[in-house]
Amino acid sequence: MTRPLAEPPADTEKHDGTRRRAWLHGAAGRNLGLVVALLLLCVFGVISGGERFANIDNVMTILRLAAVIGVLAIGMTFVITSGGIDLSVGSVMGLTTVWATTLATQSMAENSHWIVIVSTALVVGIAAGAINGVIIAYGRVVPFIATLAMLASARGLAEMISNRQTQRVESGAFIDFFRSEPLGIPILVWIFAAVAVAGWFLLNRTTFGRRTVAIGGNAEASRLAGIKVQRHTLYIYALAGLTAGIAGVMMLGRTTAGTSTHGMLYELDAIAAVVVGGTLLIGGRGTIVGTVFGVLIFTILTNVFTINNMSTSAQLVAKGAIIVAAVLLQQRFANRSKST
Amino acid sequence: MSARKNLRRMLGVPAALAASALLVAGCVSNEPPEEENDSVSQDDGAGGTANDEPGDNVVIGFSAPAADHGWMGAITRSALDTAEQYEDVELRQAEATNDVNMQISHIEQFINDGVDAIVLLPFDGDALTEVALDAMEAGIPVINVDRELSSPFASRATILGDNYGMGVSAGTYICEELGDQPDAVVAEIQGIANLPLTQDRSQGFEDALSDCGLEVSTQVAADFTIQGGETATSNLLQAEPEIDAIWNHDDDQGVGVLAAIENAGRDEFFMVGGAGSLDVMEHIQSGDSVLQATVIYPSTQAADGIKLARLIAQDKDMADLVSAGAPHTIQLYAPVVTADNVDQYLDLGFRS
C-alpha cells in the first residue's frame, strides 16, 4: 500500500495471468476482502439476531443511517484520490443545515418553494468547498491545514448564525418529501444511490475522473501533461463541498432541524470509510464501490452491535478491532492477487 | 398495604437504589449492607411498592448521549442498575452517541424490534422528535428524559430536572447566608452560556437573589468541562478581589473551579455547587474547602424513566397517586445539600 503507482506496472508484470487472476487482480479482486468482511458481518448478524437482523425494516434502517455519511464519503473519495484530504466536510455540513434553516431562508422558502432550502444548503456547501480549493490550489497551503482551518471556522460560523440554538424546519412539504418512500425505499437511500452512481460515473468514465487520478498519482507529471492542476484541485474541493451540502439537506430531512452540532466528527467517519474501501490515502487510486462497501461495513457493525445489546464501550473496542481486521483482510487479498 | 407505608417505601426507593449502586461499585465487605432506612424491604430487590412485584416481561429500549461528562455517565449507570433489579425487565441499550443521525437510527431499530417502551434522553430534543413520533405511532410509549421533545405527541411521559428551581434553591441559600449584607459581592459561574438550561438556571438565581436585595456582580461562563471551569474561574478571581459568595452551576466543571480557587489561594467566600457530585458532597461533609453547599440536578432521571417505562408497559398505576395511569410529566426537585443534611444525599452523589 506504500506504492501508489504500483498498479499499472503490476499489470504488465503479470506474465501468466489467467482470466481468473485477471479478475482477482482487477477492481473486483480489490473489493473481495470487503465483500468477505461484509458477508461475515451479515452472517454474524443473522446468527445473533435472526429475524431481527434479516428483515426488510432493519435493512432500511441500516441504509438510512448509511446514507448521510455515504454521500460525504463519495465526495471524500475524490479528494483523497487526488492526493488531498478534507477535514472540514462535517463542519461544512453542519453549517449548511444552519444556513438553510435561518429565518430568512425559511421565510423565502415559505413564499416560494422549499427547494430554496435545498439550494441554499448546496450553494453554501459549494462555496465553503471552493474556499478550501482556492486556499489549497492558489494559496499553496497543504490540504490538511487549509481544511483544518475550515473545520474550525465553519463550525464557529454555524454557531454564530444559529446562536447555538436548534432551528426547526417549518416547511411541512419539505419534511414530507424527505420522509417519502418511493417504491418502498426511503428517499434518503435513493439520494445516496444517485450520488454513488454519479460519483462512480464521474470517477471512472469521464476526463474529470481520469484527471483526478492523475493528479493524485503525480501532480507535477499531470501539470507537464497539460492538466490545469490548480483549477482541477479547486473543482475537487468544491465537489466535496457540494456533497457536504447534499448531506446537510439529507440531515435536515432526517432530523427536521438544523444545528451547529450536526456532523460532528463525520469527517473521520467518511475518511475511515474511504480508506477501508481501498482508496489510497496518498492518492492515485480511488474506488467508489469500495467506499460504498466501507460505509456499509461501519453501519452494519453499529446495527449488529445494537441488536446484540453490547455495552457502548465494548462496541467501540470491537469497532477498532474490526477496522484493522477489514484492512488487513483487504491487503491480504490484494497481495495474493499480485504475487500469484 | 397502608398508604402511609407506601409513602415510606417510596421514599426509600432512591436510597435503596443508590445503596445497591454503591454496593456494586466497590463495597468490599461480605456483610449484608446495614439497613439505615427500615422502610426498605430487602426481599424484593428494588425496595418499593407493590408495583415492584414481577409483572409481565417487558423489553425497554434505552438511548442516551455519550457519557462525556460525569453527570451523563451517572445517568446511564443508574438506568442500567435500575433495570438490573427487575427480573421482568430486559433492557436494550443503544450505543451512547452525540450524533443525532445515529441516535435516530437506534430508535428506528427499537421500533423494528417492537420493544415495549423506549426511554429516550435525546442529544437534541428537536432533532429526535420525528422519530419519537414514529415510535408513538407504532404504539410504543416513549419516555422522554431531561431534554424535551418538541411535540406533545412524541412522548407518553416526560421526566425533567428543574433548572430554574436549581437557580432558585442556590439563590435562596445564598440569601439566607448573606441576607444581612445588602452590598455583598455574589459571583456566578455558568455552564455553556447560551444553552436554554443555563439561562433558566441564571434566571432562577437572579429572581431568588433579588428577593433579598442581592444581585449577581460578576457572571462568567465555562463550558461544563474541568478545563473550562479552571480558565473561567481564574479570570473571575482576577476581576473580583473580594467576593462573598459564588454559585457554580456544575460540579463536573467544579473540579476546575476549585483548582483555580486553590491556585489563587482565596478563601474569603463560600461556594455553592450544582448537580451534586460525590466529590463535592465529600468536600461539603469534611468542610475542607470553600464548598459549603450544592444544589442537586438528579442524575437518576433516566433510572426514574426506566421505572416509569416499566409501569406504563405493564399498564400499572403509579403508587402514591390516587389517579389512574402513570403521570404525563414529572419535574424533579432541586434540594440544597449542606453539611447538615449531606449524609442523607451522599448515596445519590455521582462520581465525576
Per-residue pLDDT at B13:
45
Per-residue pLDDT at A18:
52
pTM of the predicted model, to two decimals? 0.79
Domains of chain A: 55-333 (1.10.3470)
A317-327 pLDDT, tens per residue? Answer: 877 886 787 67
Closest residue in B to A68 (Cα) is: B101
Please check the confidence at residue B25 and state whether its pLDDT lies above 50: no
Cβ–Cβ < 8 Å for B258, B232: no
Residues of A whose CB is below 8 A from B128: 255
Q: Distance (Å, rounded) from C-alpha B227 to C-alpha B179?
A: 33
Q: Do A165 and B194 touch (CB under 8 A)?
A: yes
- Residue length of chain A: 340
Cβ–Cβ < 8 Å for B189, B153: no
* CB nearest A254 (choices: B101, B192, B196): B101
Q: What is the mean pLDDT of residues B319-328?
A: 88
Q: Distance (Å, rounded) from C-alpha A165 to C-alpha B196?
A: 9
Q: Distance (Å, rounded) from C-alpha A334 to C-alpha A328?
A: 10
Please check the confidence at residue A4 and state whether its pLDDT lies above 50: no
* CB nearest A65 (choices: B102, B150, B195): B102
Q: Alpha carbon of B114 to those of A48, B36, B104, B119, B180: distances in Å?
A: 17, 41, 15, 14, 60
What three-state secondary structure class fits A166?
Answer: coil
Residue A215: partners with Cβ closer than 8 Å, 6 or more residues away: A82, A83, A222, A227, A229, A232, A233, A283
- Residue from B75, B105, B124, B195 whose CB has the most chain A CBs within 10 Å, to mutate: B105
Cβ–Cβ < 8 Å for B231, B172: no
The x, y and z cell numbers of residue A318, run together, are 470491537
| Domain B163-296 indexed as CATH 3.40.50.2300 | yes
A34-65 pLDDT, tens per residue? Answer: 888 888 888 988 888 888 888 888 889 899 99
Helix (H) / strand (E) containing A75: helix A56-81
Residue type, B218: T
B45-61 pLDDT, tens per residue? Answer: 345 678 888 889 999 99
The x, y and z cell numbers of residue A165, run together, are 440554538
Cα angle B51, B54, B55 (rounded to 5 degrees) comes to 85
Q: How many CA atoms lie within 13 A of B141 on its CB side?
A: 24
**Nearest chain B Cα distance for residue A146, angstroms:** 25
Q: What is the mean pLDDT of residues B103-131?
A: 93
Q: How confident is the model at residue A335 (pLDDT cuts 50, 70, 90)?
A: low
Domain locations along chain B: 58-161+299-316, 163-296
Please check the confidence at residue B12 and state whether its pLDDT lies above 80: no
Tell whether A256 is within 8 A of chain B (Cβ). Answer: yes
Q: Do B95 and A265 touch (CB under 8 A)?
A: no
Closest residue in A to B130 (Cα) is: A255
Closest residue in B to A179 (Cα) is: B130
- Residue from A64, A167, A306 whose CB has the most chain B CBs within 10 Å, to mutate: A306
Please check the confidence at residue A301 and state whether its pLDDT lies above 90: no
Please check the confidence at residue A6 and state whether its pLDDT lies above 60: no
Q: Do B101 and A61 touch (CB under 8 A)?
A: no
Average pLDDT of every residue of chain A: 85
Q: How confident is the model at residue B303 (pLDDT cuts 50, 70, 90)?
A: very high
Tell whether A306 is within 8 A of chain B (Cβ). Answer: yes
B56-82 pLDDT, tens per residue? Answer: 999 999 999 988 888 998 999 999 999
Per-residue pLDDT at B29:
42
Q: Do B150 and A307 touch (CB under 8 A)?
A: no
Cα angle B275, B280, B285 (rounded to 5 degrees) comes to 125
Q: Distance (Å, rounded) from C-alpha A258 to C-alpha A93?
A: 10
* CB nearest B95 (choices: A52, A55, A312): A312
Per-residue pLDDT at A106:
84
Cβ–Cβ < 8 Å for A132, A88: yes
Q: Distance (Å, rounded) from C-alpha B224 to C-alpha B249?
A: 9
Give the orientation angle of helix A207-217 with respect to helix A187-205, to 10 degrees.
70
- Identify the CATH homologous superfamily for domain B58-161+299-316: Response regulator (3.40.50.2300)
Cβ–Cβ < 8 Å for A131, A191: no
Domains B58-161+299-316 and B163-296 share a fold: yes
ipTM value for the complex: 0.76
Q: Bigger pLDDT: A125 or A168?
A: A125
